[in-house]
Amino acid sequence: MTTGDDQNAAVWQSRDAVEKWVAVEGEREAARAAQRQLMADLLPFGPDEPFTFLDLGAGTGAAARAVLGSYPRAEAVLADFSDQMMAEGARAMAPYDGRYRYVAFDMITDPWAGTLPDSFDAVVSSQCVHHVPDERKATLFAEIHAHLAPGGWYLNFDPVSADDPIVAAAWRRAADRADPGAAAKAAHRTPDEQARWENHIRYIAPLDRQLGYLRAAGFQAVDVFWKHLDSVIYGGCRVPQPT
């Protein structure tokens, strides 16, 4: 449960919070390597095809790197609202210099028009849509759909919540077995850790609701391409133009 106000911008625009997040990025990314690669593999491009994609809420660019690494002629726009994350990302993205650029973009307050390019061949997001309230998830998905080229895909790797408390308890049981220290850590968070945790869970929404937002936005071929407990990769495509 969350208690205080939305502190999302304060968390992600804080030097301290970003340093703590980056300190364990190597470990976190090692555990996510298969999901990163799956997102790249799901995109409908040939190995030598040139295309431009958006990584929304890109942070240090982990999702973008998987795509750039798989498609040597791809180019990326990385959008984020945290100068601190983008500065860290400039280091992590160095192997892809010349094939990407960062754009300062707040998913909640900034208009797409005039900030981001009008059209992308694909859009990916990872671990950031859960930072926006549900009403904005729905309108954001509609904006993504509107700015995708026909046949373009949107894929999102994010946590979801369970509608059913019995399902939530089963997820927790399995997660605690996999990481026996997690429950003790959760019971002894510092105030800072508690604030970051509350920020993490504040707007996590049930999977079906998010799939509904995708369909309402006009996406076709909506699917959950991967799922483990509360972690999913879902997405869909903008209907291709008739040939």
Ligand X SMILES: C[S@@+](CC[C@H](N)C(=O)[O-])C[C@H]1O[C@@H](n2cnc3c(N)ncnc32)[C@H](O)[C@@H]1O
Write down the least CB distance from residue 57 to ligand X, Å: 3
Q: Which of 126, 156, 199, 210 binds ligand X (CB under 6 A)?
A: 126
H/E/C letters for each residue in the chain?
Answer: CCCCCCCHHHHHCCHHHHHHHHHCHHHHHHHHHHHHHHHHHHCCCCCCCCEEEEEECCCCCHHHHHHHHHCCCEEEEEEECCHHHHHHHHHHCHHHCCCEEEEECCCCCCCCCCCCCCCEEEEEEECCHHHCCHHHHHHHHHHHHHCEEEEEEEEEEEECECCCHHHHHHHHHHHHHHCCCHHHHHHCCCHHHHHHHHHHHCCCCEHHHHHHHHHHHCCEEEEEEEEECCEEEEEEECCCCCC
202/238 with CB nearer ligand X: 202
Q: In this chain, which stretch among 44-52, 124-132, 140-148, 201-209 interacts with ligand X, using CB under 6 A?
A: 124-132
Based on the shown chain and the rule CB under 6 A, indicate whether residue 77 belongs to the binding site for ligand X: no
Based on the shown chain and the rule CB under 6 A, indicate whether residue 12 belongs to the binding site for ligand X: yes
Using CB under 6 A as the criterion, what x/- string covers residues 32-71 for binding ligand X?
Answer: -------------------------xxx--xx--------
Based on the shown chain and the rule CB under 6 A, indicate whether residue 127 belongs to the binding site for ligand X: yes
Q: In this chain, which stretch among 103-111, 113-121, 182-190, 230-238 interacts with ligand X, using CB under 6 A?
A: 103-111
Positions that interact with ligand X (CB under 6 A): 8, 12, 57-59, 62-63, 80-82, 85, 105-108, 126-128, 131
